[in-house]
A and B are shown apart, each in its own frame.
Chain A
Amino acid sequence: MALLEVDNIHAYYGKIHALKGVSLTVEKGEVVSLIGGNGAGKTTTLRCISGLIKPTDGSVTFDDDVVADYAAHELVPMGIAMVPEGRGIFSKLTVQENMEMGAFYRNDKEGIKQDMEHGYHIFPRLAERRTQIAGTMSGGEQQMLAMARALMSKPRLLLLDEPSMGLAPVLVELIFDTIRDINQQGVTVLLVEQNAHMALQIANRGYVLQTGEIILSDNAASLRKDPMVQKAYLGID
Protein backbone atom coordinates (compact mmCIF):
# COMPACT_ATOMS: atom_id res chain seq x y z
CA MET A 1 0.00 0.00 0.00
CA ALA A 2 1.14 3.50 -0.79
CA LEU A 3 2.49 5.75 1.94
CA LEU A 4 -0.16 8.37 1.19
CA GLU A 5 -3.50 7.70 -0.39
CA VAL A 6 -5.90 10.50 -1.14
CA ASP A 7 -9.19 9.02 -2.18
CA ASN A 8 -11.85 11.13 -3.84
CA ILE A 9 -11.79 14.04 -1.41
CA HIS A 10 -14.15 16.99 -1.51
CA ALA A 11 -13.64 20.25 0.35
CA TYR A 12 -15.43 23.57 0.52
CA TYR A 13 -14.30 27.09 1.32
CA GLY A 14 -17.53 28.69 2.40
CA LYS A 15 -19.78 27.94 -0.56
CA ILE A 16 -16.95 27.41 -3.03
CA HIS A 17 -16.49 23.78 -3.96
CA ALA A 18 -12.68 23.84 -3.86
CA LEU A 19 -11.97 20.14 -4.29
CA LYS A 20 -14.27 18.00 -6.40
CA GLY A 21 -13.11 14.47 -5.84
CA VAL A 22 -9.33 14.60 -5.85
CA SER A 23 -7.49 11.29 -5.75
CA LEU A 24 -3.76 10.74 -5.70
CA THR A 25 -1.16 8.42 -4.26
CA VAL A 26 2.39 8.90 -3.14
CA GLU A 27 4.63 5.84 -2.82
CA LYS A 28 7.36 5.64 -0.23
CA GLY A 29 10.55 7.29 -1.47
CA GLU A 30 8.96 9.22 -4.32
CA VAL A 31 8.90 12.87 -5.22
CA VAL A 32 5.45 13.67 -6.52
CA SER A 33 4.53 17.08 -7.93
CA LEU A 34 1.08 18.57 -7.93
CA ILE A 35 0.93 21.36 -10.47
CA GLY A 36 -1.82 23.75 -11.40
CA GLY A 37 -2.71 27.41 -11.66
CA ASN A 38 -4.02 29.83 -9.08
CA GLY A 39 -7.10 28.60 -7.28
CA ALA A 40 -6.85 25.09 -8.68
CA GLY A 41 -7.05 23.62 -5.18
CA LYS A 42 -3.40 22.67 -4.65
CA THR A 43 -3.09 24.28 -1.24
CA THR A 44 -6.46 22.95 -0.17
CA THR A 45 -5.32 19.44 -1.03
CA LEU A 46 -2.22 19.85 1.13
CA ARG A 47 -4.28 21.28 3.96
CA CYS A 48 -6.48 18.18 3.89
CA ILE A 49 -3.41 15.96 4.06
CA SER A 50 -1.79 17.82 6.94
CA GLY A 51 -5.06 17.79 8.89
CA LEU A 52 -5.60 21.55 8.95
CA ILE A 53 -8.99 21.03 7.35
CA LYS A 54 -11.13 17.94 7.11
CA PRO A 55 -12.49 16.92 3.73
CA THR A 56 -16.29 16.88 3.62
CA ASP A 57 -16.18 13.63 1.69
CA GLY A 58 -13.60 11.05 0.74
CA SER A 59 -10.57 10.08 2.79
CA VAL A 60 -6.87 10.65 3.22
CA THR A 61 -4.88 7.65 4.43
CA PHE A 62 -1.31 7.96 5.64
CA ASP A 63 0.50 4.72 6.36
CA ASP A 64 -2.83 2.93 7.01
CA ASP A 65 -4.05 5.65 9.39
CA VAL A 66 -7.04 7.79 8.45
CA VAL A 67 -5.82 11.36 8.69
CA ALA A 68 -9.23 12.79 9.56
CA ASP A 69 -9.17 10.84 12.85
CA TYR A 70 -6.29 12.98 14.11
CA ALA A 71 -5.79 16.65 14.93
CA ALA A 72 -3.17 18.43 12.84
CA HIS A 73 -0.68 18.51 15.70
CA GLU A 74 -1.01 14.76 16.23
CA LEU A 75 0.00 14.03 12.66
CA VAL A 76 3.45 15.55 13.12
CA PRO A 77 4.78 12.79 15.39
CA MET A 78 3.28 10.27 12.94
CA GLY A 79 5.56 11.59 10.24
CA ILE A 80 3.79 14.32 8.25
CA ALA A 81 5.49 17.72 8.04
CA MET A 82 4.34 20.63 5.98
CA VAL A 83 6.05 23.79 4.83
CA PRO A 84 3.12 26.13 4.29
CA GLU A 85 2.68 28.61 1.50
CA GLY A 86 4.47 31.85 2.32
CA ARG A 87 6.91 29.87 4.51
CA GLY A 88 5.12 30.50 7.81
CA ILE A 89 8.22 31.09 9.87
CA PHE A 90 7.78 32.63 13.31
CA SER A 91 9.16 36.04 12.51
CA LYS A 92 9.65 37.17 16.12
CA LEU A 93 11.50 34.03 17.19
CA THR A 94 15.16 33.46 16.47
CA VAL A 95 16.33 30.98 13.84
CA GLN A 96 17.29 28.57 16.59
CA GLU A 97 13.92 28.89 18.33
CA ASN A 98 12.14 28.27 15.04
CA MET A 99 14.14 25.08 14.66
CA GLU A 100 13.25 24.05 18.21
CA MET A 101 9.55 24.53 17.43
CA GLY A 102 9.95 22.12 14.52
CA ALA A 103 11.02 19.48 17.02
CA PHE A 104 8.27 20.36 19.49
CA TYR A 105 6.93 16.84 20.05
CA ARG A 106 10.39 15.33 20.53
CA ASN A 107 12.07 14.97 23.89
CA ASP A 108 15.39 13.43 22.90
CA LYS A 109 17.69 16.37 23.51
CA GLU A 110 20.73 14.73 21.92
CA GLY A 111 18.85 13.71 18.80
CA ILE A 112 17.36 17.18 18.44
CA LYS A 113 20.80 18.71 18.72
CA GLN A 114 22.17 16.37 16.07
CA ASP A 115 19.32 17.02 13.68
CA MET A 116 19.68 20.74 14.20
CA GLU A 117 23.35 20.54 13.27
CA HIS A 118 22.34 18.48 10.26
CA GLY A 119 19.87 21.18 9.25
CA TYR A 120 22.57 23.82 9.58
CA HIS A 121 24.82 21.58 7.52
CA ILE A 122 22.26 21.48 4.71
CA PHE A 123 21.77 25.26 4.88
CA PRO A 124 25.06 26.78 6.10
CA ARG A 125 23.53 30.21 5.74
CA LEU A 126 21.19 29.45 8.63
CA ALA A 127 24.07 28.40 10.84
CA GLU A 128 25.51 31.89 10.62
CA ARG A 129 22.18 33.32 11.69
CA ARG A 130 21.20 31.09 14.60
CA THR A 131 20.56 33.92 17.01
CA GLN A 132 19.04 36.28 14.47
CA ILE A 133 15.33 37.14 14.65
CA ALA A 134 13.86 35.13 11.79
CA GLY A 135 11.69 37.94 10.45
CA THR A 136 14.75 40.00 9.61
CA MET A 137 16.08 37.47 7.11
CA SER A 138 15.62 37.53 3.35
CA GLY A 139 12.89 35.55 1.62
CA GLY A 140 15.31 32.87 0.48
CA GLU A 141 16.76 32.42 3.94
CA GLN A 142 13.26 32.20 5.37
CA GLN A 143 12.41 29.46 2.88
CA MET A 144 15.54 27.58 3.94
CA LEU A 145 14.54 27.99 7.58
CA ALA A 146 11.02 26.76 6.87
CA MET A 147 12.39 23.61 5.25
CA ALA A 148 15.08 23.00 7.86
CA ARG A 149 12.45 23.48 10.55
CA ALA A 150 10.10 20.97 8.93
CA LEU A 151 12.90 18.40 8.87
CA MET A 152 13.32 18.78 12.63
CA SER A 153 10.21 16.66 13.16
CA LYS A 154 11.90 13.74 11.32
CA PRO A 155 9.12 13.50 8.74
CA ARG A 156 8.50 10.51 6.52
CA LEU A 157 6.34 12.64 4.24
CA LEU A 158 7.27 16.24 3.54
CA LEU A 159 4.60 18.48 2.06
CA LEU A 160 5.96 21.57 0.33
CA ASP A 161 3.63 24.36 -0.71
CA GLU A 162 5.14 26.61 -3.39
CA PRO A 163 8.73 26.57 -2.11
CA SER A 164 9.92 28.63 -5.09
CA MET A 165 7.42 31.43 -4.64
CA GLY A 166 8.98 34.89 -4.76
CA LEU A 167 12.56 33.63 -4.91
CA ALA A 168 15.36 34.63 -7.28
CA PRO A 169 16.21 31.97 -9.91
CA VAL A 170 19.53 31.07 -8.24
CA LEU A 171 17.75 30.39 -4.97
CA VAL A 172 15.02 28.39 -6.70
CA GLU A 173 17.78 26.21 -8.11
CA LEU A 174 19.29 25.77 -4.64
CA ILE A 175 15.95 24.97 -3.03
CA PHE A 176 15.12 22.34 -5.62
CA ASP A 177 18.57 20.78 -5.34
CA THR A 178 18.01 20.52 -1.63
CA ILE A 179 14.61 18.94 -2.10
CA ARG A 180 16.29 16.27 -4.21
CA ASP A 181 18.93 15.73 -1.50
CA ILE A 182 16.32 15.48 1.20
CA ASN A 183 14.46 12.90 -0.87
CA GLN A 184 17.62 10.89 -1.39
CA GLN A 185 18.03 10.74 2.37
CA GLY A 186 14.76 8.83 2.51
CA VAL A 187 12.06 11.47 2.91
CA THR A 188 9.06 11.15 0.62
CA VAL A 189 8.07 14.48 -0.89
CA LEU A 190 4.77 15.85 -2.16
CA LEU A 191 5.44 19.12 -3.89
CA VAL A 192 2.89 21.72 -4.88
CA GLU A 193 4.12 24.20 -7.45
CA GLN A 194 3.13 26.78 -9.99
CA ASN A 195 6.66 26.55 -11.33
CA ALA A 196 5.85 23.40 -13.30
CA HIS A 197 9.16 23.43 -15.10
CA MET A 198 11.22 22.93 -11.94
CA ALA A 199 8.63 20.76 -10.25
CA LEU A 200 8.55 18.23 -13.07
CA GLN A 201 12.33 18.13 -13.30
CA ILE A 202 12.86 16.67 -9.86
CA ALA A 203 9.62 14.65 -9.59
CA ASN A 204 9.11 10.98 -10.34
CA ARG A 205 5.46 11.50 -11.08
CA GLY A 206 3.11 14.42 -11.39
CA TYR A 207 -0.56 15.35 -11.17
CA VAL A 208 -2.22 18.28 -12.88
CA LEU A 209 -4.98 19.93 -10.88
CA GLN A 210 -7.51 22.26 -12.45
CA THR A 211 -10.49 23.86 -10.72
CA GLY A 212 -10.59 21.21 -8.03
CA GLU A 213 -10.13 18.16 -10.23
CA ILE A 214 -7.17 16.05 -11.30
CA ILE A 215 -7.20 16.30 -15.08
CA LEU A 216 -3.96 14.48 -15.79
CA SER A 217 -1.50 12.20 -14.08
CA ASP A 218 1.59 10.50 -15.40
CA ASN A 219 5.27 10.10 -14.77
CA ALA A 220 7.12 13.39 -14.84
CA ALA A 221 8.97 12.81 -18.10
CA SER A 222 5.77 12.10 -20.02
CA LEU A 223 4.00 15.07 -18.45
CA ARG A 224 6.76 17.35 -19.64
CA LYS A 225 6.12 16.15 -23.18
CA ASP A 226 2.36 16.41 -22.94
CA PRO A 227 1.15 19.13 -25.34
CA MET A 228 -1.50 20.42 -22.95
CA VAL A 229 0.99 20.69 -20.06
CA GLN A 230 3.54 22.34 -22.32
CA LYS A 231 1.03 24.93 -23.45
CA ALA A 232 -0.67 25.67 -20.15
CA TYR A 233 2.09 25.24 -17.59
CA LEU A 234 5.46 25.24 -19.29
CA GLY A 235 4.90 28.16 -21.63
CA ILE A 236 5.86 26.17 -24.71
CA ASP A 237 3.66 26.59 -27.76
Chain B
Amino acid sequence: MAASAKPARTGFLSKDYFERMTWVDWVLNALRVLILALVIIGATNTLLSGKYTLAQWVSLIMSGLAQGSIYALIALGYTLVYGILLMINFAHGEVYMAGAFTAYFIADWTAKSGLLASAPVIAVLIWVIVAALVSMGVAVLLERVAYRPLRGAPRLVPLITAIGASFFLQYTFRGLYGTGFKSYPAVPIIQGSVAIGGFNILIAQLVVFFSALVLMLALYWLIERTKMGKAMRAVSEDKEVSRLMGIDIDRVIVFTFLLGGALAGAAGVINGLYRPQGVNFFMGFFPGIKAFTAAVLGGIGSVPGAMLGGIFLGIIESVGPSLILDGLGINSANQLKDVIAFTMLVFVLIFRPQGILGERLKEKKA
Protein backbone atom coordinates (compact mmCIF):
# COMPACT_ATOMS: atom_id res chain seq x y z
CA MET B 1 0.00 0.00 0.00
CA ALA B 2 2.75 2.37 0.97
CA ALA B 3 4.60 1.28 -2.16
CA SER B 4 2.06 2.82 -4.49
CA ALA B 5 2.18 6.14 -2.71
CA LYS B 6 5.96 6.31 -2.57
CA PRO B 7 7.64 4.50 -5.45
CA ALA B 8 10.68 2.53 -4.41
CA ARG B 9 13.96 4.02 -5.56
CA THR B 10 15.34 1.88 -8.28
CA GLY B 11 18.57 3.66 -9.09
CA PHE B 12 20.07 5.01 -12.28
CA LEU B 13 19.82 1.90 -14.35
CA SER B 14 16.07 1.58 -14.34
CA LYS B 15 14.49 2.72 -17.58
CA ASP B 16 12.10 5.26 -16.17
CA TYR B 17 14.49 6.79 -13.66
CA PHE B 18 14.70 10.11 -15.46
CA GLU B 19 10.97 10.29 -16.01
CA ARG B 20 10.33 9.74 -12.36
CA MET B 21 12.78 12.37 -11.11
CA THR B 22 11.15 15.27 -9.33
CA TRP B 23 12.78 18.69 -9.13
CA VAL B 24 14.05 17.79 -5.65
CA ASP B 25 15.93 14.86 -7.15
CA TRP B 26 17.40 17.19 -9.79
CA VAL B 27 18.63 19.59 -7.14
CA LEU B 28 20.07 16.82 -4.98
CA ASN B 29 21.80 15.18 -7.91
CA ALA B 30 23.21 18.53 -9.04
CA LEU B 31 24.47 19.00 -5.50
CA ARG B 32 26.10 15.58 -5.55
CA VAL B 33 27.88 16.37 -8.81
CA LEU B 34 28.92 19.79 -7.54
CA ILE B 35 30.42 18.41 -4.33
CA LEU B 36 32.21 15.67 -6.17
CA ALA B 37 33.59 18.18 -8.68
CA LEU B 38 34.76 20.53 -5.93
CA VAL B 39 36.45 17.72 -4.03
CA ILE B 40 38.18 16.41 -7.14
CA ILE B 41 39.26 19.82 -8.42
CA GLY B 42 40.46 20.93 -5.00
CA ALA B 43 42.39 17.73 -4.33
CA THR B 44 44.02 17.67 -7.78
CA ASN B 45 45.04 21.31 -7.56
CA THR B 46 46.60 20.83 -4.15
CA LEU B 47 48.39 17.64 -5.07
CA LEU B 48 49.69 19.06 -8.37
CA SER B 49 50.89 22.26 -6.76
CA GLY B 50 53.08 20.21 -4.42
CA LYS B 51 52.51 22.73 -1.65
CA TYR B 52 52.65 20.08 1.07
CA THR B 53 55.31 17.43 1.50
CA LEU B 54 54.53 13.81 2.22
CA ALA B 55 55.73 14.32 5.78
CA GLN B 56 53.19 17.07 6.21
CA TRP B 57 50.38 14.85 4.96
CA VAL B 58 51.40 12.12 7.37
CA SER B 59 51.40 14.56 10.22
CA LEU B 60 47.96 15.83 9.21
CA ILE B 61 46.61 12.30 9.08
CA MET B 62 48.13 11.46 12.45
CA SER B 63 46.66 14.52 14.10
CA GLY B 64 43.32 13.64 12.52
CA LEU B 65 43.60 10.11 13.83
CA ALA B 66 44.31 11.32 17.35
CA GLN B 67 41.51 13.89 17.31
CA GLY B 68 39.22 11.33 15.72
CA SER B 69 39.85 8.76 18.44
CA ILE B 70 38.74 11.31 21.00
CA TYR B 71 35.59 12.05 18.98
CA ALA B 72 34.97 8.33 18.72
CA LEU B 73 35.12 7.82 22.48
CA ILE B 74 32.60 10.59 23.07
CA ALA B 75 30.46 9.51 20.12
CA LEU B 76 30.09 6.07 21.70
CA GLY B 77 28.22 7.71 24.57
CA TYR B 78 25.69 9.21 22.18
CA THR B 79 25.25 6.05 20.20
CA LEU B 80 24.90 3.71 23.19
CA VAL B 81 22.19 5.83 24.76
CA TYR B 82 20.45 6.28 21.43
CA GLY B 83 20.54 2.55 20.79
CA ILE B 84 18.66 1.89 24.00
CA LEU B 85 16.42 4.90 24.53
CA LEU B 86 16.16 6.33 20.99
CA MET B 87 17.10 9.64 22.50
CA ILE B 88 19.97 12.02 21.79
CA ASN B 89 21.59 12.90 25.08
CA PHE B 90 22.61 16.41 24.16
CA ALA B 91 24.11 16.92 27.60
CA HIS B 92 26.77 14.30 26.85
CA GLY B 93 29.33 16.99 26.04
CA GLU B 94 28.88 18.21 29.60
CA VAL B 95 29.42 14.70 30.92
CA TYR B 96 32.78 14.86 29.17
CA MET B 97 33.49 18.34 30.54
CA ALA B 98 32.62 17.35 34.11
CA GLY B 99 35.20 14.56 34.13
CA ALA B 100 37.90 16.47 32.29
CA PHE B 101 37.45 19.63 34.37
CA THR B 102 37.45 17.83 37.72
CA ALA B 103 40.41 15.65 36.79
CA TYR B 104 42.38 18.79 35.97
CA PHE B 105 42.55 19.62 39.67
CA ILE B 106 43.82 16.14 40.47
CA ALA B 107 46.30 16.44 37.61
CA ASP B 108 47.47 19.77 38.96
CA TRP B 109 47.90 18.25 42.39
CA THR B 110 49.89 15.28 41.07
CA ALA B 111 52.16 17.70 39.21
CA LYS B 112 52.75 19.87 42.27
CA SER B 113 53.28 16.94 44.62
CA GLY B 114 55.88 15.44 42.31
CA LEU B 115 53.94 12.23 41.68
CA LEU B 116 53.64 13.04 37.99
CA ALA B 117 57.40 13.36 37.67
CA SER B 118 58.24 10.26 39.70
CA ALA B 119 55.47 7.89 38.54
CA PRO B 120 53.84 9.35 35.45
CA VAL B 121 51.86 6.26 34.46
CA ILE B 122 50.27 5.92 37.88
CA ALA B 123 49.55 9.63 37.99
CA VAL B 124 47.79 9.61 34.61
CA LEU B 125 45.84 6.49 35.57
CA ILE B 126 44.61 8.37 38.63
CA TRP B 127 43.47 11.24 36.41
CA VAL B 128 41.60 8.81 34.17
CA ILE B 129 39.92 7.07 37.08
CA VAL B 130 38.84 10.34 38.67
CA ALA B 131 37.54 11.72 35.37
CA ALA B 132 35.68 8.51 34.56
CA LEU B 133 34.10 8.35 38.02
CA VAL B 134 32.95 11.97 37.91
CA SER B 135 31.57 11.60 34.39
CA MET B 136 29.80 8.39 35.31
CA GLY B 137 28.25 10.11 38.31
CA VAL B 138 27.03 13.02 36.22
CA ALA B 139 25.69 10.70 33.51
CA VAL B 140 23.73 8.59 35.98
CA LEU B 141 22.41 11.68 37.72
CA LEU B 142 21.22 12.99 34.36
CA GLU B 143 19.43 9.75 33.63
CA ARG B 144 17.82 9.58 37.04
CA VAL B 145 16.77 13.20 37.39
CA ALA B 146 16.28 14.47 33.86
CA TYR B 147 15.44 11.54 31.61
CA ARG B 148 13.81 8.75 33.57
CA PRO B 149 10.77 10.75 34.65
CA LEU B 150 10.22 11.62 30.98
CA ARG B 151 10.43 8.12 29.60
CA GLY B 152 7.38 7.58 27.45
CA ALA B 153 6.91 11.30 26.90
CA PRO B 154 6.92 12.58 23.29
CA ARG B 155 10.43 12.45 21.87
CA LEU B 156 10.87 16.20 21.73
CA VAL B 157 10.48 16.52 25.50
CA PRO B 158 13.65 14.72 26.64
CA LEU B 159 15.53 16.50 23.85
CA ILE B 160 14.61 19.89 25.25
CA THR B 161 15.38 18.65 28.74
CA ALA B 162 18.80 17.52 27.55
CA ILE B 163 19.60 21.00 26.31
CA GLY B 164 18.40 22.46 29.59
CA ALA B 165 20.46 19.96 31.55
CA SER B 166 23.44 20.87 29.41
CA PHE B 167 23.21 24.55 30.40
CA PHE B 168 22.56 23.60 33.99
CA LEU B 169 25.73 21.51 34.10
CA GLN B 170 27.86 24.15 32.37
CA TYR B 171 26.90 26.82 34.85
CA THR B 172 27.09 24.50 37.83
CA PHE B 173 30.69 23.74 36.97
CA ARG B 174 31.34 27.40 36.23
CA GLY B 175 30.13 28.12 39.75
CA LEU B 176 32.19 25.29 41.23
CA TYR B 177 35.48 25.79 39.44
CA GLY B 178 35.40 29.36 38.13
CA THR B 179 35.57 30.85 34.67
CA GLY B 180 39.30 30.86 33.90
CA PHE B 181 41.00 28.62 31.35
CA LYS B 182 43.19 25.96 32.91
CA SER B 183 45.84 23.71 31.41
CA TYR B 184 46.68 20.14 32.24
CA PRO B 185 50.31 19.73 33.34
CA ALA B 186 52.60 18.39 30.63
CA VAL B 187 53.40 14.70 31.01
CA PRO B 188 57.14 14.37 30.43
CA ILE B 189 57.27 10.85 28.99
CA ILE B 190 54.89 11.53 26.13
CA GLN B 191 56.63 14.65 24.83
CA GLY B 192 58.63 14.60 21.63
CA SER B 193 58.31 12.35 18.65
CA VAL B 194 59.49 9.04 17.29
CA ALA B 195 60.55 8.20 13.76
CA ILE B 196 58.41 5.51 12.18
CA GLY B 197 59.12 4.60 8.56
CA GLY B 198 61.01 7.83 8.07
CA PHE B 199 58.26 10.08 9.45
CA ASN B 200 58.33 11.91 12.72
CA ILE B 201 55.22 11.11 14.68
CA LEU B 202 54.29 12.75 17.96
CA ILE B 203 54.31 10.30 20.84
CA ALA B 204 51.25 11.99 22.33
CA GLN B 205 49.27 11.17 19.21
CA LEU B 206 50.21 7.53 19.42
CA VAL B 207 49.30 7.43 23.10
CA VAL B 208 45.91 8.97 22.33
CA PHE B 209 45.20 6.60 19.48
CA PHE B 210 46.24 3.42 21.27
CA SER B 211 44.58 4.21 24.57
CA ALA B 212 41.35 4.99 22.71
CA LEU B 213 41.74 1.76 20.77
CA VAL B 214 42.14 -0.26 23.95
CA LEU B 215 39.01 1.34 25.44
CA MET B 216 37.02 0.67 22.29
CA LEU B 217 38.11 -2.95 22.13
CA ALA B 218 37.17 -3.35 25.77
CA LEU B 219 33.75 -1.87 25.07
CA TYR B 220 33.25 -4.11 22.07
CA TRP B 221 34.15 -7.17 24.10
CA LEU B 222 31.79 -6.07 26.84
CA ILE B 223 28.85 -5.64 24.48
CA GLU B 224 29.46 -8.80 22.50
CA ARG B 225 30.54 -11.22 25.19
CA THR B 226 29.25 -10.31 28.63
CA LYS B 227 25.79 -10.98 30.00
CA MET B 228 25.16 -7.30 30.60
CA GLY B 229 26.28 -6.45 27.08
CA LYS B 230 23.92 -9.01 25.63
CA ALA B 231 21.15 -7.62 27.81
CA MET B 232 21.93 -4.16 26.41
CA ARG B 233 21.47 -5.45 22.90
CA ALA B 234 18.30 -7.25 23.90
CA VAL B 235 16.83 -4.14 25.53
CA SER B 236 17.73 -2.01 22.55
CA GLU B 237 15.78 -4.39 20.36
CA ASP B 238 12.67 -4.97 22.46
CA LYS B 239 12.09 -3.57 25.93
CA GLU B 240 8.90 -5.47 26.65
CA VAL B 241 10.27 -8.88 25.76
CA SER B 242 13.41 -8.06 27.76
CA ARG B 243 11.21 -7.56 30.81
CA LEU B 244 9.63 -10.94 30.16
CA MET B 245 13.13 -12.41 30.21
CA GLY B 246 13.60 -11.08 33.72
CA ILE B 247 15.86 -8.22 32.66
CA ASP B 248 15.56 -5.12 34.81
CA ILE B 249 15.33 -2.44 32.12
CA ASP B 250 16.23 0.39 34.48
CA ARG B 251 19.42 -1.34 35.52
CA VAL B 252 20.45 -1.84 31.91
CA ILE B 253 19.74 1.81 31.10
CA VAL B 254 21.76 3.01 34.09
CA PHE B 255 24.57 0.69 33.03
CA THR B 256 24.48 2.20 29.55
CA PHE B 257 24.80 5.71 30.94
CA LEU B 258 27.66 4.51 33.17
CA LEU B 259 29.51 3.12 30.17
CA GLY B 260 29.00 6.28 28.13
CA GLY B 261 30.11 8.37 31.11
CA ALA B 262 33.25 6.31 31.71
CA LEU B 263 34.27 6.62 28.07
CA ALA B 264 33.59 10.36 28.05
CA GLY B 265 35.59 10.91 31.24
CA ALA B 266 38.50 8.91 29.88
CA ALA B 267 38.25 10.87 26.63
CA GLY B 268 38.51 14.07 28.67
CA VAL B 269 41.85 13.05 30.15
CA ILE B 270 43.15 11.58 26.90
CA ASN B 271 42.32 14.89 25.25
CA GLY B 272 44.19 16.63 28.06
CA LEU B 273 47.31 14.59 27.31
CA TYR B 274 47.18 15.64 23.70
CA ARG B 275 46.08 19.24 24.02
CA PRO B 276 46.53 20.30 27.65
CA GLN B 277 45.15 23.83 27.34
CA GLY B 278 41.54 24.96 27.13
CA VAL B 279 40.13 23.34 30.25
CA ASN B 280 37.01 25.33 30.99
CA PHE B 281 33.32 24.90 31.84
CA PHE B 282 32.50 25.37 28.15
CA MET B 283 35.03 22.81 26.92
CA GLY B 284 32.41 20.11 26.37
CA PHE B 285 30.33 22.00 23.86
CA PHE B 286 32.40 21.64 20.69
CA PRO B 287 33.68 18.10 21.27
CA GLY B 288 30.09 17.18 22.14
CA ILE B 289 28.68 18.54 18.90
CA LYS B 290 31.52 17.08 16.87
CA ALA B 291 31.12 13.68 18.49
CA PHE B 292 27.39 13.85 17.80
CA THR B 293 28.25 14.55 14.18
CA ALA B 294 30.60 11.58 14.22
CA ALA B 295 27.89 9.34 15.68
CA VAL B 296 25.43 10.40 12.98
CA LEU B 297 28.11 10.01 10.35
CA GLY B 298 28.82 6.44 11.39
CA GLY B 299 25.16 5.61 11.90
CA ILE B 300 23.55 6.56 15.19
CA GLY B 301 22.86 3.53 17.36
CA SER B 302 25.71 1.55 15.84
CA VAL B 303 28.75 0.98 18.05
CA PRO B 304 31.27 0.24 15.26
CA GLY B 305 29.65 3.15 13.41
CA ALA B 306 30.51 5.58 16.19
CA MET B 307 34.10 4.38 16.26
CA LEU B 308 34.46 4.62 12.52
CA GLY B 309 32.54 7.91 12.30
CA GLY B 310 34.76 9.51 14.94
CA ILE B 311 37.99 8.56 13.26
CA PHE B 312 36.63 9.41 9.83
CA LEU B 313 35.52 12.84 11.01
CA GLY B 314 38.85 13.50 12.71
CA ILE B 315 40.81 12.69 9.58
CA ILE B 316 38.51 14.57 7.18
CA GLU B 317 38.60 17.57 9.45
CA SER B 318 42.36 17.52 9.60
CA VAL B 319 43.20 16.64 6.02
CA GLY B 320 40.19 18.22 4.29
CA PRO B 321 41.08 21.91 4.61
CA SER B 322 44.56 21.47 3.16
CA LEU B 323 43.57 18.93 0.59
CA ILE B 324 40.34 20.38 -0.75
CA LEU B 325 39.86 23.96 0.38
CA ASP B 326 43.45 24.96 -0.29
CA GLY B 327 43.23 23.67 -3.83
CA LEU B 328 40.11 25.74 -4.39
CA GLY B 329 42.09 28.87 -3.59
CA ILE B 330 40.59 29.50 -0.16
CA ASN B 331 42.94 31.34 2.16
CA SER B 332 43.91 30.12 5.62
CA ALA B 333 41.95 26.95 5.04
CA ASN B 334 43.11 25.45 8.32
CA GLN B 335 40.72 27.63 10.23
CA LEU B 336 37.82 26.14 8.34
CA LYS B 337 37.93 22.62 9.75
CA ASP B 338 34.65 23.14 11.59
CA VAL B 339 33.05 24.15 8.31
CA ILE B 340 34.13 20.83 6.84
CA ALA B 341 32.82 18.90 9.84
CA PHE B 342 29.38 20.46 9.86
CA THR B 343 29.06 20.46 6.08
CA MET B 344 29.67 16.74 6.30
CA LEU B 345 26.87 16.48 8.87
CA VAL B 346 24.46 18.26 6.56
CA PHE B 347 25.41 16.12 3.59
CA VAL B 348 25.11 12.92 5.57
CA LEU B 349 21.66 13.95 6.70
CA ILE B 350 20.64 14.70 3.12
CA PHE B 351 22.21 11.82 1.27
CA ARG B 352 22.60 9.01 3.75
CA PRO B 353 20.57 9.72 6.88
CA GLN B 354 21.27 6.26 8.28
CA GLY B 355 25.01 6.96 8.30
CA ILE B 356 27.87 4.81 7.10
CA LEU B 357 27.03 1.67 9.03
CA GLY B 358 23.55 2.46 10.29
CA GLU B 359 20.49 0.65 9.13
CA ARG B 360 17.41 2.34 7.83
CA LEU B 361 14.99 3.04 10.64
CA LYS B 362 12.01 0.78 10.64
CA GLU B 363 8.58 2.23 11.28
CA LYS B 364 8.58 0.73 14.74
CA LYS B 365 11.75 2.44 15.84
CA ALA B 366 11.24 5.74 14.08
Contact = CB atoms under 8 A, between A and B. Distances in A.
Interface of A: 50-52, 71-74, 76-77, 81-82, 84, 88-93, 97, 100-102, 104-105, 149, 153
Interface in B233-268: 233-234, 237-238, 240-249
B144 interface: no
A93 B244 contact: no
Given A101-B247, A104-B246, A153-B246, A88 B227 contact: no
Contacts of A52: 240, 243-244
7 contacts: A73-B247, A74-B246, A76-B246, A88-B240, A88-B244, A91-B237, A101-B245
A149 B230 CA distance: 15
Interface string B204-237: 0000000000000000000000010011011001
Nearest to B242: A101
A104 B233 contact: no
Contacts of B249: 73
A237 B240 CA distance: 40
Contact of A76 (B231, B234, B244): B244
Contact of A97 (B230, B240, B244): B230
Contacts of A97: 230, 233
Given A97-B230, A104-B231, A81 B244 contact: yes
Contact of A104 (B227, B237, B238, B240): B227
Nearest to A146: B241
A76 B241 contact: no
A81 B245 CA distance: 8
Contacts of A51: 243
Given A77-B246, A153-B246, A92 B233 contact: yes
A153 B245 contact: yes
A93 B240 contact: no
Contacts of B234: 90, 93, 101
B248 to A, nearest CB: 5
A103 to B, nearest CB: 8
Contacts of A102: 245
Contacts of A82: 244
Contact of B246 (A88, A91, A92, A105): A105
A155 to B, nearest CB: 10
A93 B248 CA distance: 18
A150 B242 CA distance: 12
A154 to B, nearest CB: 11
A72 B243 contact: yes
B7 to A, nearest CB: 27
